[in-house]
Amino acid sequence: MRRHWKEFECEKWESCNDSNPVKKRPLNTCYFNPPPSSRKLKYCSLFGDPHIIMFNGTTQTCSEEGARPLVDNRYFLIQVTNKNVRGEALTTTVTKVTALIRKHNCTSFLRYEATSDEEGLPRGFVDGTTYQLPANSNSNSNSVEVLWQDKTYVEIALHFIHSSIHIRRQGPYLSVSVKAPSIVLETESDVAQEMCWAGCRKSSQILSETAVEMPKKFSECYNRRVHVPKKVAEDRCKNVGTSGTFFDACVFDLMFTGNSYPSQFPQGPQQCGMQAMIILCIWPVMLNQISVAWLLIIFNLKLLNNVSDYTNK
């Protein structure tokens, strides 16, 4: 008998007796996940012409067209639609973002949609709600809420899993970024279609570094016009405070997007920063009196340091 108790981890007969059942969590109760450490957070951003920064820190430039999942897990799905916006070869950008929050003890099913056809970003979910407050929870906070800043920026905060989705709009063009703990992003399904994990399709990838270094050859091979000389593009991207990956993306987009620029460029990342968030900063580009958005993401300094530590491992 003692051997059986030991095998079933019963130190005493009372622990196996129905008169002393093991305490269980109440059903249908919302439990907020414990806050993750900064090193267990992952980031992914899709912006510009477009460029993607994947969860592993890899950056790609591509000309994807159509709808694809950006992130898909048991808690939420983000799907993006890319279209050719100017009729030129290899020129696409995000024109629709759909965020689906899956049903959970902490929230009902929610859908948020942002499209380039609308005048501004929606203030709430498709059903008109802006937040979820669970009846039974280990927290008094909203489990999910839309934090609408203005027509050009919105954050969807999933407090119960310490994740957030950030959407920016400039003119008719969109950019999206997601921050989430590793444990939230874990999935048993195939991630080959998710852009944040798998990146762009090989057939749509563009070697942006080569294009910038050899613009004439790139232009001839892909029938794409060079609108701004490299030196001019570099100077203008330096003036708006970009560096590293964002500087390279800025130079590529300005060279191959437009040749006339408005004066209201942000004067550095601090003007776009918000504490402990990924912020999407956008510089519009004008071409033939048509507003073509150049969408650029700049991280809050604290988060940028965290990402640098992660990607340098």
- Rounded to the nearest integer, the mean pLDDT of the chain is 76
If we measure between CA atoms, which residue out of 70, 298, 25, 291 comes closest to residue 180? 70
With contact defined as beta carbons under 8 Å apart, do 152 and 142 qualify? no
- CA 122-258-279 angle, to 5 degrees, is 40
What's the whole-model pTM score? 0.74
Q: Which two tokens stand for residue 262?
A: 């408005």
Mean pLDDT calculated for residue range 172-185 = 91
Q: What percent of the chain has pLDDT over 90?
A: 37
Q: Which two tokens stand for residue 89?
A: 């070869």
pLDDT grade for 23, boundaries at 50, 70 and 90 = low
Lowest-confidence region among 78-82, 111-115, 226-230: 226-230
Q: Which two tokens stand for residue 78?
A: 């983000």
Which class is domain 41-311?
Answer: alpha beta
| In the chain, where the domains are located | 41-311
- CA 83-88-93 angle, to 5 degrees, is 30
pLDDT digits (tens, 9 = 90+) for 119-147: 899 999 999 999 999 888 778 889 999 99
Give the CA distances from residue 203 to residues 61, 68, 91, 206, 263, in Å, rounded to whole numbers and listed in that order.
Answer: 12, 15, 14, 9, 37
- Find the helix or strand (DSSP H, E) in which 198 lies: helix 195-198
Mean pLDDT calculated for residue range 249-271 = 53
Residue 20 has pLDDT above 60, yes or no: no
Residue 285 has pLDDT above 80, yes or no: no
pLDDT digits (tens, 9 = 90+) for 35-80: 998 888 999 999 887 889 999 999 998 888 899 999 999 999 999 9
